[in-house]
Amino acid sequence: MAQFNIAHLYPDLMNLYGDRGNLICLQKRLEWRGQECRIQNVGLGQSIDFAAIDMVFMGGGSDREQGLVYADLIKRAEEFRQAIETDLPVLCICGAYQLLGQAYISADGQRLRGLGFFDFTTQGSQPRLIGNILVETELGGQTTTVVGFENHGGRTFLNDARLKPFGRVLKGYGNNGQDGFEGIKYRNLIGTYLHGPLLPKNPVVADFFIKAMAVRRGMDANITPLYDAIETFAHQQVKYKILNS
């Protein structure tokens, strides 16, 4: 039995639309496989040892919360960036995703700096892009659909050749409602606008992170399959609803 450590960054500030459910999903799917999972909450000013954790999760938040988080996270940005380059699994939702880029520019022109890990910018605009979303993605050589809920005023435009979109939008808006792409994928990092929470509705994505954690530990890449009939049925029902709405 192994113990996996997942850092939940700024849970009191970045936790919109049930994002914490992603951690509950990961924890249960590890426990069902006979592993332990420890969730470490990291708030403003609290230390984090990236070498001692197996995954980072950060949810969405408002502009004000993003500003507070940026001021704190920039102090450890280089260590975080280096961990990403060594294949640390990372899931960033909505506002956390936007923070990975160069800047967020609000609709009234105020510029909120990002961590600058990647070359993309988010422009605030109206109307907000709201609704259920269906995306097609490839994870571990397997093509799958992903369902979720998006609610964002920002339009994100990717300029970084290193990045791949998380997926192709089949229905919904995605990064900007124009180019047909959603989120980003880089090494074991996924940035996405999908709330809901994302992982319980999409066990394939949850297992992508679990496999990545195991491989990074030097463990067997063939993680134990779970009986996902209920999760798969729920996914298919949401998918059907989105396609026929």
236-244: Cβ within 8 A, 24+ apart: 238/132, 238/147, 238/201, 239/134, 239/145, 239/147, 241/132, 242/132, 242/133, 242/134, 242/147, 242/171, 242/172, 243/134, 243/170, 243/171
Q: What DSSP string runs through 156-214?
A: EEE--TT-B-SEEEEES-TTTSSSSEESEEETTEEEE--BS-HHHH-HHHHHHHHHHHH
Catalytic residue positions?
94, 195
User: Which pLDDT belongs to residue 17?
Assistant: 83
Give 182's pLDDT tier (boundaries 50, 70, 90): very high
pLDDT of residue 203: 96
| pLDDT value at residue 67 | 87
pLDDT at 228: 96
Q: H or E element: which one contains 37? A: strand 36-42
What amino acid occupies position 15?
N
Domain annotation for the chain: domains and CATH numbers: 3-243 (3.40.50.880)
d(CA 237, CA 245): 12
Average pLDDT over the chain, rounded to an integer: 95
> What is the per-residue pLDDT for 9?
97
The tokens describing 204, both together, are 């394939």
Q: What are 87-124's pLDDT values in tens digits?
A: 999 999 999 999 999 999 988 888 989 999 999 999 99
Tell me the range of 11-15, 67-71, 162-166 where mean pLDDT is highest. Answer: 162-166
> Residue 58, exposed/middle/buried by CB under 10 A (0-12, 13-18, 19+)?
buried
Q: What confidence score (pLDDT) does residue 81 get?
A: 98
- Which pLDDT tens digit goes with each residue over 202-227? 999 999 999 999 999 999 888 999 99
Share of the chain above pLDDT 90, in %: 89
- Confidence tier at 54 by pLDDT (50, 70, 90): very high
The token duo for 27 is: 């924890």
Give the C-alpha separation, 8 to 31, whole Å.
Answer: 18
Is residue 9 a contact partner of residue 57, using CB atoms and an 8 Å limit? yes
